[in-house]
Amino acid sequence: MSKAQPSSDRIPMNLRTEALEQLLVERGLVDPQVMDTFIKTYEKDVGPLNGAQVVAKAWTDPEFKQRLLDDGTGAIAELGFKGPQGEHLVVVENSAEVHNVVVCTLCSCYPWPLLGLPPAWYKDPAYRSRVVREPRTVLAEMGLELPTDTEITVWDSSSEVRFFVLPQRPPGTEELSEAELAALVTRDAMVGVAQVSA
């Protein structure tokens, strides 16, 4: 009698990832040092701060904001932010009428050069499937209650296009500098699961 093979989904993800990495290294397809540097950079050096700078500039410079909405990738590159997973960025603007929220229904596509690596909830199958079907409920569960007459648009990021939300500038921030404004902008607001408050 032959033993049943363990199904691959019963092997923990970290072990499967390690095995895959080992294979790629053994075959000379990747250099583990390059890979470590790459991961460290996006984990430690690139955080949501880049995205926050883009938002603060858009709030204070109407011409930049127009370029940002017309050609996200190009306008963002003006600030020096580009690289893997940021080759085609599309910026969607929140207003009193429309609230935008971003998901990758297939996996976890995310604008790395602007926000660093995605948080665990963004990769969670529950978020990925539910935010499309019942965005208002999911947002409320995450602490964002939107007025019933605010339309919610869900954008599905992919390996081709990654969406980025330009949140609304909170009232009472007219006197703040660009740097002070950037300090208010959170990662969650740029994914669209929160708003910026002063």
- Shortest reach from residue 165's CB to Fe ion, in Å: 17
* Nearest CB to Fe ion, comparing residues 106 and 179: 106
Task: Give, as one character, the DSSP assignment of residue 8.
Answer: G
Residue 109: active-site member? yes
Under the criterion CB under 5 A, does residue 109 sit at the interface with Fe ion?
A: yes
* In the block, residue with structure tokens 């330009």: 166
Tokens of 62: 């109407």
CA atoms of 97 and 94, how far apart (whole Å): 8
7, 8, 109, 157: the active-site residue: 109
> Do residues 192 and 165 lie in contact, with contact meaning Cβ atoms separated by under 8 Å?
yes
Q: Which of 60, 72, 61 is nearest to 100 (CA)?
A: 72
95, 107, 159, 197: the active-site residue: 107
* Nearest CB to Fe ion, comparing residues 65 and 162: 162
Is 163 in a helix, a strand, or coil? strand
7, 95, 104, 159: the active-site residue: 104
Under the criterion CB under 5 A, does residue 165 sit at the interface with Fe ion?
A: no
- Shortest reach from residue 110's CB to Fe ion, in Å: 7
Under the criterion CB under 5 A, does residue 102 sit at the interface with Fe ion?
A: no
* Nearest CB to Fe ion, comparing residues 79 and 154: 154
Phi (first) and psi of residue 123, to 5 degrees: -90, -10
Residue 107: active-site member? yes
* Nearest CB to Fe ion, comparing residues 59 and 112: 112
Interface stretch with Fe ion, choices 6-14, 84-92, 97-105, 139-147 (CB under 5 A): 97-105
> Do residues 117 and 110 lie in contact, with contact meaning Cβ atoms separated by under 8 Å?
yes
Sign of the Cα pseudo-torsion (96, 136, 165, 40, in order): positive
2, 7, 95, 108: the active-site residue: 108
> Do residues 146 and 74 lie in contact, with contact meaning Cβ atoms separated by under 8 Å?
no
Is 144 in a helix, a strand, or coil? coil
| Position among 107, 140, 179, 198 found at the interface with Fe ion (CB under 5 A) | 107
Residue numbers at the binding site for Fe ion (CB under 5 A): 104, 106-109
Could you give the residue numbers annotated as active site? 104, 107-109
